[in-house]
Structure 1
Amino acid sequence: MDRFDAMQAFARVVEAGSFTKAAETLHMSKTSVTQLVQQLEARLRVRLLNRTTRQVKVTADGAAYYERVLRVLADVDDAETSLSGASALPRGRLRVDVPSPLARMILVPALPAFHARYPEIQLDMGVSDRMVDVIGDNVDCVVRGGELTDPSLAARKVGDLQLGVYAAPDYLARAGTPAHPQELEDTHHRIVGFLWARTGKAFPYAMHKGGESLKVQGRHLFAFDDGNAYLAAGLAGLGVLWLPDYMAREHVLRGELRPLFGDWHLDPMPLYVAFPPNRHVSAKLRVFIEWVAELMAQHAPVTGPHAGKTPAPR
């Protein structure tokens, strides 16, 4: 038995809550993972996991051992990256998940520079607006907008997305240009709905002007759970959009979208990089977080206080 492999397998089973999921993320067979954990238990003469047909739960001894295993794995990673030149050149596979518009408009175009700076990092980027199980899906981090709702995650605030209200000229020619946000509740106006991953529902947007505040729900015929599809629907004239400035800017310059209610204010949407708090933050993850923070400082700098660990996002 390779004890290092066995410890890695055990840690992944604890984090994933499943031998099957652990095997998938380790690119091993379920039988191999099971055997490694069994051999580890035999060597330690302690039951680390309680197994049933429906779930795997860590025992009290297993939980204590897991915390020590994490430190051992972290020390090994630190030892490798501390070798001559390694600390300046992080390497290895990094699995991240990011919102689709942010990937298309900001992150992916900047990847050549990231690769030039960190050529030894293999970046596997999931692109979606769905909820991701950071631990179960074995993702090193997620980039998400919105207030965090999962207190089990650690997070760094990397940006504040300034929001505005927009519509395509074709839509405004048909429905008229609303002078007040409340007009979006009228029967002749339509918004494009965005289905948030946490609830699967659209929700009203809070808007402020002087001492006046209101929430606009609007009516929609079309709703989407993907940011790129949401934007495409607005460009096609299907309704009014609420967009971060970085998504709207080029379309406004090209005359494809027109801003509405310029004298009204919307609270900015915080942008976070979230990751498991009990997992070692490797050199490759640290430089990725710093890179995202650098990019967002150009496109959507933080305007409010930083958040270290807060209650997660879409």
Structure 2
Amino acid sequence: MSKTFASAADLEDKKVSFTQLSEHAWAYTAEGDPNTGVIIGDDAVLVADTQATPAMAQDVIRRIREVTDKPIRHVVLTHYHAVRVLGASAYGAQQVIASQDTHDLIVERGEADKASEIGRFPRLFRDVESVPAGLTWPTITFTGRMSLWLGKLEVQLLQLGRGHTKGDTVVWLPGEKTLLSGDLVEFDATPYAGDAYFRDWPATLDNIAALGPRALVPGRGPALLGEARVQAGLAATRDFIRDLWACVQEGVAAGKDLRATYEHSFATLQPKYGHWVIFNHCMPFDVTRAYDEATQHAHPRVWTAERDRQMWEALEG
């Protein structure tokens, strides 16, 4: 293969930041690694996205304990990807909450996704043996909208449309205009779109913008503080999705096969987005999914470790 598979060569530790966004919200970020959002309510703590393993979640817990001793009672899964959910057991939460769509995706493809992601991201799954056997299952599911009350603090869980997956959930503090977006929004980091809905994603971002967030924790990248910074994050994510989708549609319309469409898309997007974190990693997955959606697969196909390797060799070999 001409390029190292996925992020297999990414072994350098990242600098962690734990940033307060509003009175009750914090962001755990690490230079483009997957982020975790934390809500500290009147009587309990909520964690959104858990890190990839219980061992790695311990650093999130350590940061939380630097600012509060309140119990961590709620874990929210913004979507089903293993890198976001397999650390959940570390928190000892009373409730693990996800959309019903996310639950259904775990049933359908959780095991395959787990094996696939561990193969792609060896550094992010450090101490993978600390993951309990089986999968991370929600104990509560919802459809559309749900409110939690951490004392007098209202936390809303919202499904605002399909994008990164069909089950995407955002965590919204209406009183503080603060949002935890999961991977629907990225900043200076390439959106992974292997399980995406390209036709829907821009409208979902518009729905996020309509809330008027003043602070936002993206799936990857630094915390976004201030409306202008939030809008910049939304716009950059929207531009990437639209630009990639347009390139793939051009390729399909011209009768190009997947590899030719990939090469055209990579060459077109690299000057604008190539400096973003995991650009080389994401592009084969993203173009493959967009090509599927533009041709014959309205819904994402399941990624397996074997399919990952076959796709990578076909496009990068």
TM range (shorter): under 0.3
Q: Which has the higher contact order (CA 8 A, sep 6+)?
A: 1
Look at both structures and tell me which one has the larger radius of gyration over its CA atoms: 1
Superposition TM-score, scaled by structure 1 size? 0.21
Superposition TM-score, scaled by structure 2 size? 0.21
